[in-house]
Structure 1
Amino acid sequence: MNFPWPDGVRATAAFTFDVDAESCVLAHDPSASSRMSLMTHQAYGPRVGVPRLLRVLRRQEVKATFFVPGFTADTYPDMVRSIIDEGHEVAHHGYLHEPMQGIDAAREAEYLDRGLEALDRLGIRPAGYRAPWWEMNWHTPDLLIERGFQYDSSLLDGDTPYRLHGTETAGDLVEIPVDWGLDDWEQYAFYPGWTGSGVIESPRKVHEMWLLEARAHHAESGCFVLTNHPFISGRPSRAAALERLIEDVRALDGMWVTTLGEIAAHTAGAVEEVRRVDRIEAPGALATNRE
């Protein structure tokens, strides 16, 4: 690959955190609010995980991107302020981490606007968006462009950022692709009766896997985007392994470790081609879920 990174930069890495807290559980099952243990499992993120991860990032002198649902911002405003005070980027992640698959544009617009209003109450106008569960709809880019978002980080069709054309709306935004293999949910997430297989991986194994991916991105001038959740990777041994990973990634020659906002700003100015992602339908009678 020959991506036009800044002079002296061979590849890019971003450490991102989805601060879901209780939102993803309540969106899935509102009655789960009665499950005290499950609620505290999620509250670990803003109460313990975020402060620990902020200390890790401070020691490593790395700025990260935190995707914060509006409900989390409303529930833990001081935690969000602590992220801002450390100089990190805060971006949009829905309001209640709502299920997005197949919803219409009007409902999705309501979720986007409610999340924007919650962040605005803390003085934040986010440049970036990440769809809950990385579940974009074909109309989502238009909604984001209409609201002035500069980038999205939800799609999985590339190793480097690209400019994404709106489907109906004039204009474009930067897409910074992600990968399920670079998400801590697949490695560590487990709660009986709610999520996970019950197999919780060793942080040593996860560090090795992610470092191999970072080195491969570095070799190909790619963009390594790691997604972590504070209620998962904020636990002690996992945070320690993450800090070792950050050290290893920073040591790669020519690796630019920065926020998604910085990557998006560079891409918008350096990449001329605008990509259109077209919907592919199943042929004939096999087609389903047509709009």
Structure 2
Amino acid sequence: MSDKWRNGAGAVATLTFDVDAEAPILAHGRHYAAHASTMSHQAYGPDVGVPRILDLLDETGVPATFFIPGWVAERRPGLAARIVDRGHEVAHHSYSHRPPTSLAPGEERADFERGMEVFAAQGIEISGHRAANWEATYETAELVADHGLLYDSSLMGDDRPYRIPTAKGVVTELPVHWSLDDWEQYAFLPAPHVGSVVESPRKVLQMWTDEIDAMAHYGSLFNLTNHPFLTGRPSRAMALRKLIEHALSRGDVTFLRCRDVAKLAAEDADLATRPSAPPPADSLGAFPPGPA
């Protein structure tokens, strides 16, 4: 097991915030733009949740990474710059928040590049990428490498960083998992259906506290994904604060931006390499072929 990327820490924690705003709901259908309540639910993220989270990060003294769809950055000029000015990283989260697995050939690249153009126009340095809904394709890592980015954070093949070789170069993967995503805990809308259980922040805090303790034991990457329209709500923000305070009190957990973890991982010669390629599903003749 390689541990050089941890630089002596028991675990490395990356706090990541997907500032999706209205984009994931509009990706379900443009007609939701006429749903005033639903749109206000999503706008709460950048308008209320992000400022609250930025203050929380200032008060606890930890850095974070904010993944923003290009459409959101475009509609809210200055949002990305304000985050960077507070010492945090802004990373690429598609343009339209349409999952790559739902796009026709060529559309993933077009959406990816449109998002990159928004950040370039705003003078925001981009080092990493996260696929919408984590629904990466087998071309996603190659797109990341082709555009000179350091890392992707969409896959689940480990609980430590690993390398993905592509035809365009090597990408560092900072893996994620559903158990470290607040969407699975807090997301609810009547339409479109995005979740149906609103958990207690106490339960979520206990689950994530147990996970960070276990990851310090195993030398893992605690890559937490939060959404400001969810975790920006008061009791949930307080639960996040308690989680950060617990991790800091341990003395063996380091908080870093994703960009900084990727740089350390890229310098670790012993980091695992996990090629990304589809399994030979055609050999499973008994299984239905699925949609064309």
Relative to the length of structure 2, the TM-score reads 0.94
Q: Does 1:198 pair with 2:196?
A: yes
The correspondence of residues 68-217 of structure 1 with structure 2, limited to 5 A, is 68-166=68-166, 169-217=167-215
Q: Does 1:236 pair with 2:234?
A: yes
1:172–1:274 Cα contact (<8 Å) kept: no
Deviation for aligned residue 1:252 = 2.1
SS at match of 2:91: strand
Which shifted more, 233-242 or 188-197? Answer: 188-197
Which shifted more, 17-26 or 269-278? Answer: 269-278
2:71–2:96 Cα contact (<8 Å) kept: yes
Deviation for aligned residue 1:271 = 3.1
Residue type of the alignment partner of 2:25? V
1:69–1:95 Cα contact (<8 Å) kept: yes
1:3–1:160 Cα contact (<8 Å) kept: no
2:45–2:227 Cα contact (<8 Å) kept: yes
2:151–2:259 Cα contact (<8 Å) kept: yes
Name the Cα RMSD after superposition.
1.7
* Cα separation, partners in 2 of 1:170 and 1:194, compared to 1, 3 Å: closer
Paired position in structure 1 for 2:219: 221
Paired position in structure 2 for 1:245: 243
Which shifted more, 234-243 or 264-273? Answer: 264-273
Which shifted more, 27-36 or 72-81? Answer: 72-81
Q: Distance in 2 between matches of 1:246 and 1:11?
A: 13
Q: Residues 32-74 of structure 1: CA distance to partner in whole angstroms, max 9, x if unpaired?
A: 0000110000000010000000000000111100000001101
SS at match of 1:279: coil
Residue type of the alignment partner of 1:255? V
Total equivalences in the alignment: 289
Q: Distance in 2 between matches of 1:80 and 1:53?
A: 14
Deviation for aligned residue 1:290 = 10
Residue type of the alignment partner of 2:278? R
Q: Percent identity?
A: 42
Q: Residues 102-128 of structure 1: CA distance to partner in whole angstroms, max 9, x if unpaired?
A: 534511110010000111121013100
Which shifted more, 23-32 or 76-85? Answer: 76-85
The correspondence of residues 270-285 of structure 1 with structure 2, limited to 5 A, is 270-272=268-270, 274-282=273-281, 283-285=283-285
Residue type of the alignment partner of 2:43? A
Q: Distance in 2 between matches of 1:8 and 1:229?
A: 30
2:81–2:124 Cα contact (<8 Å) kept: no
Residue type of the alignment partner of 2:79? M
Moved over 4 A (4+): none
2:5–2:267 Cα contact (<8 Å) kept: no
The answer for unaligned runs of 5 or more in structure 1 is none
Q: Distance in 2 between matches of 1:16 and 1:225?
A: 7
Residue type of the alignment partner of 1:257? F
Deviation for aligned residue 1:196 = 4.0
The correspondence of residues 2-21 of structure 1 with structure 2, limited to 5 A, is 2-21=2-21
Q: Distance in 1 between matches of 2:5 and 2:195?
A: 39
SS at match of 2:96: coil
Paired position in structure 1 for 2:45: 45
1:218–1:252 Cα contact (<8 Å) kept: no
Q: Distance in 2 between matches of 1:205 and 1:242?
A: 12
Residue type of the alignment partner of 1:181? S
2:127–2:149 Cα contact (<8 Å) kept: yes
* Cα separation, partners in 2 of 1:6 and 1:157, compared to 1, 3 Å: closer
* Cα separation, partners in 2 of 1:288 and 1:90, compared to 1, 3 Å: same
2:184–2:195 Cα contact (<8 Å) kept: no
Which shifted more, 61-70 or 138-147? Answer: 138-147
SS at match of 2:47: helix
Q: Distance in 1 between matches of 2:8 and 2:165?
A: 29
1:155–1:177 Cα contact (<8 Å) kept: yes
1:4–1:270 Cα contact (<8 Å) kept: yes
Relative to the length of structure 1, the TM-score reads 0.94
Deviation for aligned residue 1:264 = 0.3
Q: Distance in 2 between matches of 1:105 and 1:176?
A: 26
Q: Distance in 2 between matches of 1:289 and 1:266?
A: 41
